[in-house]
Structure 1
Amino acid sequence: MDAKLAPTKASAMANGEAAGAPKSFKRSNSLQDKTPAHSKPGAAAATARRLRSISISEPQPTKAQPKFSKNSRKSRSGFGRGLPKKGGAGGKGVWGKPGSELDGVATAVDSHDPNYDSEAMDDDVELEPVAVQLTADEVKRLAETLVLEYFDHGDTSEVDRALTESWDVISIKLRYLVVVAMVELAMDHKASHREMTSVLISDLYQECLTQTDICRGFEALLEQLPELVLDCPDAPEILGNFMARCIADDCLPPKYLSGHKGKVECRLAIKALDRADLLVSSPQGMSRLDNVWGTGGARRPVRALVSQMVQLLQEYLSSADCDEAIRCLKELEVPHFHHELVYEAVTMAIERSDRRSTDEMVRLLKTMYGACVLTTNQMDEGFLRVYEAMPDTQLDVPEAYTLLERIVTLAFQKGVISRDTMRRMPTKGRKRFVSEGDGGRIKVREAPGLVF
């Protein structure tokens, strides 16, 4: 037995050294050598015969070794299934299996913890929304927006509803800024807007605003007068009118003026308080304060508006200043009544019966039409009113139809009126001197005692 195995070991050693047999091949031979003879009969002889058939000179095939990168997660033994090591939890920069961060993680209780989740809290915890309070600048911007919209629609209930909805985010200490924003905007607008502001303050009193809010608002305005007078030189008089009107509307107590007269040192504030005291203490002052801003806009009587338009046209014929006439017409604040100006202008040109008045009136109408002060509808309506009044105008001006024809022709050439309006111009009826059944003989009126 030993004699037969000796050449086998020698040949195996020779082949391994010469051909560089792989380690796996050597390990298999060693396992076979260690196998007991009685367990595998004839195994040694078969192994020896196989080894003798292999040439020592020929190189033996070697199994390619896989290349492993430095951070590879696959098994390096070569016997694995190709899966990453540790189920994907190994390798550089890996803190566990994907999705393991959601398994077994306790809910963070500390609200300052980065992993704190408010939705994962217990059911007995109830979250309530917290309203963010507006700053002083935001309160003034909100009030300015509401007041500007109010100047367009004139509905105080709309402002009341909007302020009520925003009252939760406005601090009680900042609500007086609503009054400050109202008065400041009214100072930059016309008298009609100041009247609307006084009505708004009166309607909001005891609904949204308290007497304390109104008092604090006027105190802040008195302190800001040195700055307000830079943009509005009449700020002291306007503020005095507002305070007097609020006293008449019972929004301010009567003792408000006397309580502040000796406490303010600003000259402008003293002037505003004196103005308010004068209006309140004058005879029948409380009843007259309803018209402290005048009767402007549509509240004026029609006769007063007509009279002011006639004065406007007379001053224009004297100065020939179209810009001044446009400014005066806008101050009346009656854009729906501008057709009256067209009617009065054409009627005045007919009554004056001179070429200069006709040319100046047409030029004024052309300028106002180009400045969009007078619209096409207002222009046509004014001329149609003149057409209807021509029978009465002719009684005072016999040549009224001739003058009207000239004015209408010139206005059509300037593009002031439409062709349809020009066609509707009335013409004076002509007296017929020839009858159709008289053969063309002219009728002569016979006088008593005369024979023709």
Structure 2
Amino acid sequence: MDHKPSHREMTSVLISDLYGRIVTQKDIGRAFEVLLKNLPDLVLDTPDAATVLGNFIARAVADDCLPPKFVQICKEKVDCDHARQALSRADTLLSMKHGLVRLDNVWGVGGGLRPVKYLTRQMTLLLQEYLSSGDLQEATRCLLDLEVPHFHHELVYEAVVMTIEAISGHTEEMMCKLLKSLCAAIIITPDMMERGFLRVYEDMPDICLDVPLAYTVLERFVERCQKGGFLTDEVIRKMPSRGRKRFVSEGDGGRVKSHDFV
């Protein structure tokens, strides 16, 4: 707790990596309970120990290393002001808008240090909260806060898959609006956009097992995005046809083939 932010970030990442492999959720919970109990001594050497511990607890909850109810359960058991301060700090962080996403950067260190599976989770949460709130500006800010431009293809991938699974015109409209905005602002580059869509194309045989209408929804969404003007020719050309692993040929000028006889 008395080290610099980058070391705290590495510690949070280590806890995440150890969870499920070497330590259990119960082990992590007990360790934090001991730290809460020892806060009166810890603040003597680290005056902001309560705040730092609150950050660690909130981050552990966001990383699924602790259950969300951990904070409330501890609040009912502790009788130390420092411990209550730490738990209040954790509660505040977890309760704020887009809290789970923002906690990825709780130490002020770029998200590039985070494991891929956790970055993926943050992007999924970001998209879910965007669909719920419709707040385009906040979703954009949360993506920028992750500080992983090299991984923006994952956001595109998750957005398209989420759209396919929703089978909803409203979701298609919102996701197209988000991707178009991020592309126009050059937050998501054309190559990241292309890579995200092509990854979805590769996974379509598996996706359609869970979503029988997957190809139909994908066609409709790609057409909507094409009209939005932010897809490359490569994305249009390689869009897989419904129910088959056939691709649109270059000679079709980027138009989707008719499926009257498919």
Instruction: Give the drift of 1:292.
Output: 8.7
In structure 2, the residue matched to 1:293 is: 107
CA drift of 1:372 comes to: 1.3
- The alignment's C-alpha RMSD in Å is 3.3
Q: Mapping of 1:273-312 within 5 angstroms?
A: 274-276=47-49, 293=107, 296-312=110-126
Alignment counterpart, residue 426 of structure 1, candidates 219, 240, 249: 240
- Relative distance call for 1:332 and 1:427 in structure 2 (3 A) is same
Match status 1:386 vs 2:159: no
Change in CA separation of 1:352 and 1:279 when aligned onto 2, cut-off 3 Å: closer
Alignment CA distance shift 1:195-1:426 (3 Å): same
Partner of 1:319: 133
CA deviation digits over 1:44-103, x for unaligned, max 9?
xxxxxxxxxxxxxxxxxxxxxxxxxxxxxxxxxxxxxxxxxxxxxxxxxxxxxxxxxxxx
> How much has 1:333 moved relative to structure 2?
1.2
Q: Please report how far the alpha carbon of residue 316 of structure 1 lies from its aligned counterpart in structure 2 after TM superposition.
A: 0.6
- Aligned equivalents of 1:277, 1:307: Cα separation in 2: 27
**Aligned counterpart in structure 2 of residue 407 of structure 1, from 213, 218, 221:** 221
2: CA distance between counterparts of 1:347 and 1:359? 14
- 1:112-191 aligned at under 5 Å gives the runs none
The secondary structure found in structure 1 opposite 2:231 is coil
Alignment partners' CA distance in 1, 2:193 and 2:149: 12
- How far the C-alpha of 1:420 sits from its partner, in A, is 2.4
Q: Tell me the alpha carbon deviations over residues 83-140 of structure 1, each in whole angstroms, 9 at most, x when there is no partner.
A: xxxxxxxxxxxxxxxxxxxxxxxxxxxxxxxxxxxxxxxxxxxxxxxxxxxxxxxxxx
User: What is the aligned partner in structure 2 of residue 195 from structure 1?
Assistant: 6
How far apart in 2 are the matches of 1:346 and 1:326? 17
Change (3 A) 1:338 1:292: closer
- Aligned partner of 1:8 in structure 2 is none
Q: Trace 1:363-382 onto structure 2 (pairs within 5 A).
A: 363-382=177-196
Q: CA shift at 1:194, angstroms? A: 5.0
- Deviation track 1:174-222 (CA, whole Å, cap 9, x = no partner) reads xxxxxxxxxxxxxxxxxxx9539x99xxxxxxxxxxxxxxxxxxxxxxx
2:149 maps to 1:335: yes
Q: Structure 2 unaligned segments of length 5 or more: list them.
A: 11-43, 54-104, 245-262
C-alpha spacing 1:277/1:428, structure 2 compared with 1 (3 Å): closer
2:93 maps to none
SS at 1:389 equivalent = helix
Higher helix share: 2
Bigger CA radius of gyration: 1
- Cα displacement (A) at 1:394: 0.5
Quick one: structure 1 residues 429 and 315, their matched pair in 2 at CA, closer, same or farther if it must change by over 3 Å? Answer: closer
Instruction: State the identity as a percent.
Output: 51
Structure 1's 331 and 425: CA in aligned 2 closer, same or farther, altered over 3 A?
same
Provide TM-score, normalisation by structure 2. 0.54
1 CA distance for matches of 2:185 and 2:198?
22
Q: Which has the higher contact order (CA 8 A, sep 6+)?
A: 2
C-alpha separation between the residues in 1 aligned to 2:221 and 2:106?
Answer: 42
- Could you tell me whether the CA contact under 8 Å between 2:5 and 2:108 is conserved in 1? no
Tell me how far apart the structure 1 counterparts of residues 50 and 206 of structure 2 sit (CA, whole Å). Answer: 53
Compared with structure 1, are the counterparts of its residues 377 and 275 closer, same or farther at alpha carbon in structure 2 (3 Å cutoff)?
Answer: same
1:230-287 deviation digits (Å, cap 9, x = unpaired): xxxxxxxxxxxxxxxxxxxxxxxxxxx66xxxxxxxxxxxxxx62158869xxxxxxx
8 Å contact kept, 1:368–1:374: yes
CA distance in 1, matches of 2:51, 2:159: 42
Q: Distance in 2 between matches of 1:315 and 1:391?
A: 28
Q: Which blocks of at least 5 consecutive residues in structure 1 are unaligned?
A: 1-192, 200-256, 259-272, 281-290, 431-452
Amino acid at match of 1:275: D
Does structure 2 retain, via aligned residues, the 8 Å contact 1:401–1:427? yes
Q: Please name the residue that 2:175 is paired with.
A: 361
> What amino acid is the match of 1:315?
E
1:339/1:382 contact within 8 Å kept: yes
Equivalent position amino acid for 2:6 in 1: E
1: CA distance between counterparts of 2:168 and 2:51? 51
The equivalent of 2:35 in structure 1 is: none
